[in-house]
Structure 1
Amino acid sequence: MTRLNTHFSLSSLVVGVVFAAASLAGGSGCAPTEHSHATHQPAAQDGATPAGPAPRLQDPPELVSRNGTLKATLVVERRKVQVGDHQLYATTYNGAYMPPTLRVRPGDRIDLTMTNRINENTNLHTHGLHVSPRAPADDIFIAIKYNHSYHYSYRLPLNQPTGTYWYHSHADMMSAPQVAGGESGIIIVDGLQQYLPPSLRHITEHTLALKDFQIQGDSIKTHPLSIGAPTNRTVNGQKNPVIHIRPGETQLWRLANISANIYYKLHLPGTRFHVIAQDGIPVRKVYAQDTLIIAAGARFDVLVQGGSPGTTQLETLPYNTGPAGNQFPQAVLATVVTDGPSMTRATIPTDFASHEDLSHATIAARRTVVYTENKAGTKFFINGRMYDPHRIDFTSTFGTVEEWSVRNDTNEDHSFHVHTNDFQLMSTNGKTQDPSHGWYDTVNVPARGEIVFRIHFIDFTGKTVLHCHILNHEDMGMMAVLDIVG
């Protein structure tokens, strides 16, 4: 868990719109309003060129904490809903393929009731949040049965990093079909703006939640899922929406890969992504990238600046995960229109947030994780064993710093994610990671490659997990149990 400066004014943060349906309210924390819905055009799968005018980008509706508490209800049910430009049966939260964003602040209490109305067990994982792995907090070993409800209740620590997170199903052996079917949404921990210069603290902010779906008849396909099959990529559930920006304007984009399995290689011609947070964790120094590889489950908060008037396309470039993996083709995600009165281009800050650096920490233990798989790609292993929720694979001591190596002995990329605590990436394939932007909760592990990270076990004990976040691989065995003991 990075230790960030947390002295800021809570009252200055943005209050979002909330979901229209009364079932979303779940208590006094949510006052319903509505988002308008644009007309959708015919779909284009990966590699195809979208036709016709596109709808304006709609940020997801929001459930916002009030007076230090987020009270909310999430209902999981199968419904026929608008998905891109199709009407399809999907596994929805509160009746929507793009469910409400949960917007909270460090120190807030989350009181969330989940009701299961699908005919299989499910649960809820708040991906990346630094909260207890014990019930009634982020306990992924819970199984909520059909027609049952579960009440999650816990408080975010005051040192919770401020940025973009997400929530999704973590049901044993069912994560991939449930997330692919629609069970994924955004969490925003407010406060990232405190690190920006005053002139940039009230800039336009957009959430760009990247979700994809395959089609089977009149439904989103959930089983069997082929990772490399043609798919429909959406932004906030929309196909190729239009994002408007003025020449010279600076905007904050929250980029989140909340798909079940696929990778994104984002590129916006003529524009650089100025990264201010990774996986919800503010960086120490802002850095700029022409392209961003976003592994399954990863997020980036970035500043973008409008160029000359005109139109360009936010796209995902071709990406190959290795000879045993998948080739993801180029696809258009959104159309960016630069128009309107010009603005003076702001200076992008260099120094950003301070946080812990484990480069010189005392190492209490060193551990190795080895990824392997069978030739058929139907069984996936960590240290030669498939996942068993009743077996403890690793035991770590509360309060200590450990160094872990994750070695990928397969011919395809895998991602790595650990619950409860984030980590400082030290190196990838022997190349040292810049400590000024080294903190993550989800990273890519290249085929036949290795990452090394350090992790500080603070604030919480209990049984949790680490796994590949390509959810097909997780469901087929590539997950292990970590017990943090006092």
Structure 2
Amino acid sequence: MTRSRSAAARLATGLALALAWLAGCGHGLSGTGPQGGPASPAVAGPRLQDPPELVSHDGLLRATVIVERRKVRVGDRRLWATTYNGMYMPPTLRVRPGDRIDLTMINRIDEDTNLHVHGLHVSPRSPSDDIFLAIKDNRSYHYVYRLPRNHPTGTYWYHSHADMMSAAQVAGGESGVIVVEGLRQYLPPSLRGITEHTIALKDFQVEGDAIKTHPLSIGAVTNRTVNGQENPVIGIRPGETQLWRLANIGANIYYKLHLPGHRFHVIAQDGHPVRRVWAADTLVIAAGARYDVLVRGGSPGTTRLETLAYDTGKAGNRFPRADLATLVTAGTPVRPAALPSAFAPNEDLSHATIAARKTVVFTENTAGTVFYINGRTYDPRRNDFTSVLGTVEEWTVRNDSDEEHSFHVHTNQFQLMSTNGRPHPPSRRWFDTVNVPARGSVVVRIAFQDFTGRTVLHCHILNHEDMGMMAVLDIVRPSGRSRGESRGK
């Protein structure tokens, strides 16, 4: 159940944490971070644990992911979960542009599953990011992904995309983080060695001694975790700057992140570096979305990384405020380094020649049990949209329902041009997942590059996807049908 505490109790807890740190640390911090920087302090309560990592070497990441039911620690209890490699928070896959990923998935659950590498610009055809295939129980599949040498750098994720079962499997635990290295090259030299933390946001509902997956109600009481931990402690020195990879890798819910007394300085969104760094007091992270941010330690003390109350509309859900983690600022102060303003170059499609314009309309029935794109529910055998390799298209995504939807396209990222007619800042337009307001619309531009084949677009509220809100996109060569395209199975 989501924890709630009075302001007095939160203050007392924060002071106790700070005193424990100051009493126990002497010189401020114990251990080292992933880049040799300081780790979280030795204080009462769980210290934030970054997920283990599988790292590419010499241009290759070779890995095995085993899907199985296990009773594992989730937050502060042991529950049956659908795990990757026996963990609710599985290994982070860390690669570089130009790398090849050889990944063998072994299915040991009694239902079909598969794998989607969310946001990666890789082929949608087998043996790469083909979400139409089904890996049967006690079978395996060997995926091969080749990242372009100019692949955007930032945070991505991997998860089940099994037809009609993605919400249940992701909610049960089938999701992890992917990092494409390279963001640090855009930081000033004084910040290239900073401590980095993964802040992977997953939530779980409980039924008996298991994570609940059937039926899954978006609005039910849920338990929010960071890296599979409930309210872990994150340590930072006064004046220190850290890189946080914020990733919403759960099935359905939204986050409205807030860190009182601090600002999030965004350097990448959905795995794509921004042209100019921008700062915010709060970040709404729709289902499936990610932000890479810089956070600077303030005065000594404690504060809470929290998600504020968020309402997705009268037909949607009202997510309550909840604590996610405790930030403890203590130890030897660090001279604050200047934060960057200009950041990374990126392509601007504002003046691109538009080859075609499409309209994508989200609707749902009054009961909220069937969801549609352009009046039709998902059918993997049917092509709903066709786009031509080497062209740029402009899509209007219109939401004719009374709740927000999280729009996602596979294979190619897109530029967000406007929301409800209001232009989006050109310096931070690249996304692969964007929130569409209730009774509103967004306009995006997509450059179809490098890959042909059948793929999908959908709402990334996975309950909605599983209930019909997904469509097939066929990317073809200029001459017509793509060669060797993947087909629905």
2:354 aligned counterpart, secondary structure: coil
Moved over 6 A (4+): 49-52
What's the counterpart of residue 131 of structure 2?
140
2:472 aligned counterpart, secondary structure: strand
CA-CA distance at 1:66 after TM superposition: 1.0
- State the alpha-carbon separation in 2 of the partners of residues 130 and 385 from structure 1: 27
Alignment of 1:303 onto 2:260: no
Alignment of 1:467 onto 2:458: yes
Letter in 2 for 1:285: R
The equivalences for 1:7-46 within 5 A come to 45=2
Query: CA-to-partner distance for each residue in 1:169-223, whole Å, 9 max, x for gaps?
Result: 0000000000000000000000110000011001000000000000000000001
CA-CA distance at 1:54 after TM superposition: 2.3
CA-CA distance at 1:408 after TM superposition: 0.3
Residue 265 of structure 1 contacts residue 317 of structure 1 at CA under 8 Å; is this kept in 2?
A: yes
Letter in 1 for 2:158: Y
- State the alpha-carbon separation in 2 of the partners of residues 47 and 422 from structure 1: 38
2:170 aligned counterpart, secondary structure: helix
Out of 346, 351, 359, the residue aligned to residue 337 of structure 2 is: 346
The equivalences for 1:49-448 within 5 A come to 53-448=44-439
Inter-CA distance 484–394: structure 2 relative to 1 (3 Å threshold): same
Letter in 2 for 1:414: H
- State the alpha-carbon separation in 2 of the partners of residues 46 and 319 from structure 1: 17
Letter in 2 for 1:439: W
Inter-CA distance 46–365: structure 2 relative to 1 (3 Å threshold): farther
- State the alpha-carbon separation in 1 of the partners of residues 206 and 429 from structure 2: 38
Name the stretch that deviates more: 417-426 or 45-54.
Answer: 45-54
- State the alpha-carbon separation in 1 of the partners of residues 337 and 401 from structure 2: 45
Query: CA-to-partner distance for each residue in 1:230-259, whole Å, 9 max, x for gaps?
Result: 100000000000000000000000000001
1:288 aligned counterpart, secondary structure: strand
Name the stretch that deviates more: 153-162 or 106-115.
Answer: 153-162
- State the alpha-carbon separation in 1 of the partners of residues 325 and 463 from structure 2: 27
Residue 46 of structure 1 contacts residue 231 of structure 1 at CA under 8 Å; is this kept in 2?
A: no
Query: CA-to-partner distance for each residue in 1:125-150, whole Å, 9 max, x for gaps?
Result: 00000000000000000100000000
1:364 aligned counterpart, secondary structure: strand
CA-CA distance at 1:346 after TM superposition: 1.2
- State the alpha-carbon separation in 2 of the partners of residues 152 and 209 from structure 1: 24
TM-score (norm 2): 0.90
TM-score (norm 1): 0.90
- State the alpha-carbon separation in 1 of the partners of residues 86 and 355 from structure 2: 47
Paired-residue identity, %: 76
Consecutive unaligned residues of structure 1, counting only runs of 5 or more, are 1-43
- State the alpha-carbon separation in 1 of the partners of residues 263 and 233 from structure 2: 18
What's the counterpart of residue 35 of structure 2?
none
Query: CA-to-partner distance for each residue in 1:447-486, whole Å, 9 max, x for gaps?
Result: 0010000000000000000000000000000000000000
1:448 aligned counterpart, secondary structure: coil
2:202 aligned counterpart, secondary structure: strand
- State the alpha-carbon separation in 2 of the partners of residues 407 and 364 from structure 1: 20
